[in-house]
Amino acid sequence: MSDELRILHQIVLRNGAWGGMEKHFAAFVRDGQKRSGVSNFLVENLRRVAPEVGAALACLSQPARELRRWHGLPVPKWPVAARQVHCASLARRWDINCVLNWNLFGDTAPARLAERRRGLSVYWERGAAWYESAPDFDPAFVDAYGLYLANSEASRQMLLQRWGVRGEVQVCAPGVVFGGGPGAMARSPPEGRAVRLGFAARLRGFKGGVLAVHAIAELARRGIDAELWVAGEGKDGTRMSAEALRLGIAERVRMLGRVSPMEPFLDSIDLLLHPALREPYGLACAEALAAGAPVVATAVDGLGEVVEHGVTGLCVEPTLPLSRYAEFGGDAGDVYPMVYRPQSGTIGEPMLPDPAALADAVAIIMDADRYTAMSTAALQAHRGRLAFERKQEHLYELLRAALGKVAA
């Protein structure tokens, strides 16, 4: 078997999704176009992909093929075998030797396809292991893949502890593809204007947006002039706006909607506030660090693997029970049932960071000397341990080593 990686990606990209996984996929295929020995292919339902994803598809080694069409004819969703046969036919034509499943948790079809090709099957966990249940979970999933990748140690532990995965599981985090160039300068605290706290996420209950609103209210009560700039869309946006109005700080909360590209937003804020109740990795935090903005995040799941506590930001321990979420306007029904607790290395129920503790962390970071030191460390982290090129090299090392085992 050749050392060339001929990767067939299995990933859901439809309906305009443009989150951390889609961003990394787009960067992955753009990077692959520049590399020798790496070819990328895609068969997928391409209905309404995000514009940024659509632009990246031009970097594939062959044009992406529509899963629902074969030689111009429709391929029905049922029986499932029809689309599987379509995908297998293209895999043969493209001489695929690696099938990469992006977060399709419990699905063994990509592994079976790779086995028929006598190639490598890879599952990449990006957050699906936090789901309450997996209705289509195939029990064979726990050892079906030649390699399991996890985007954080938290993801790795969820696979191992919660689902009992028995195969090899390696941590392989995504990198950040923008910001923090060689000439980027560390920041200083703002003068003559309010402190701008950024919140960037899908606006869902488990992201903790209402807690960010309450942190702004707490800062206002302490006489600290601060605003919250919110980048993102989702059903929790209504709750955030309602809480801002109820707390009398509506003028301090700016709902910006979907923001792309992110660089101007990150350049305009002073600090990213990320009080998530669950976060497998936290690409938004990594992006903020790449722009030189310190981060206040919850000490849960993989966030402490991105934000180095006391160096590039502060991680706030969640201390309040989830039962109190409604007091802050939050929707406890939109929160995942289990999280990874890095302090103990165990799986447990989610908890809330106290908005007062979030406000404490913001006040600590905004000290002039500490802020500049953290901004400097954030840029250094982006150029070092969080660099996209470093993460990609690690990924290819893992893939080639696993492919070698299959060939042996």
Q: What average pLDDT does range 313-324 have in this prediction?
A: 98
195-383 matches 5-175+388-407 in CATH topology: yes
What single string gives the DSSP state of each residue in 23-87? HHHHHHHHHHHT-TTEEEEEEE--TT--HHHHHHGGGSSS--EETTEETTEE--SSSHHHHHHHH
What residue spans define the domains of the chain? 5-175+388-407, 195-383
326's tokens: 């409604």
Q: What is the pLDDT of residues 179-200, one digit of tens each?
A: 766 667 899 999 999 999 999 9
Strands (E), 68-152: 69-70, 73-74, 98-102, 120-125, 147-150
Q: What is the pLDDT of residue 75?
A: 66
Contacts with 298 (C-beta within 8 Å, 6 or more apart), sequence order: 208, 274, 275, 276, 277, 279, 315, 316, 318, 353
Q: Please tell me the least confidently modeled range out of 120-129, 171-180, 296-305, 311-320.
A: 171-180
* pTM of model > 0.75: yes
Alpha-carbon gap, residue 261 to 239, rounded angstroms: 25
Exposed, middle or buried, 365 (CB in 10 Å: 0-12/13-18/19+)?
Answer: buried
Q: What average pLDDT does range 217-224 have in this prediction?
A: 97
pLDDT interval class at 82 (50, 70, 90) = low
Span 195-383 CATH architecture: 3-Layer(aba) Sandwich (3.40)
Q: What percent of the chain lies above the pLDDT cut of 70?
A: 95
Q: Please tell me the least confidently modeled range out of 123-137, 160-174, 225-239, 275-289.
A: 123-137
Q: What average pLDDT does range 65-85 have in this prediction?
A: 73
Fold of the CATH domain 5-175+388-407: Rossmann fold (3.40.50)
Q: What is the pLDDT of residue 297?
A: 98
Q: 161: which DSSP letter? A: I
Q: What is the pLDDT of residue 372?
A: 97
Rg (CA), the chain: 22
pLDDT interval class at 1 (50, 70, 90) = very low
Q: What average pLDDT does range 62-66 have in this prediction?
A: 94
Residue pair 341/347 in contact by the 8 Å Cβ criterion:
yes
Res 22 pLDDT > 90: yes
Q: What is the pLDDT of residue 180?
A: 62
Question: 382 pairs with which residues across the strands?
Answer: none
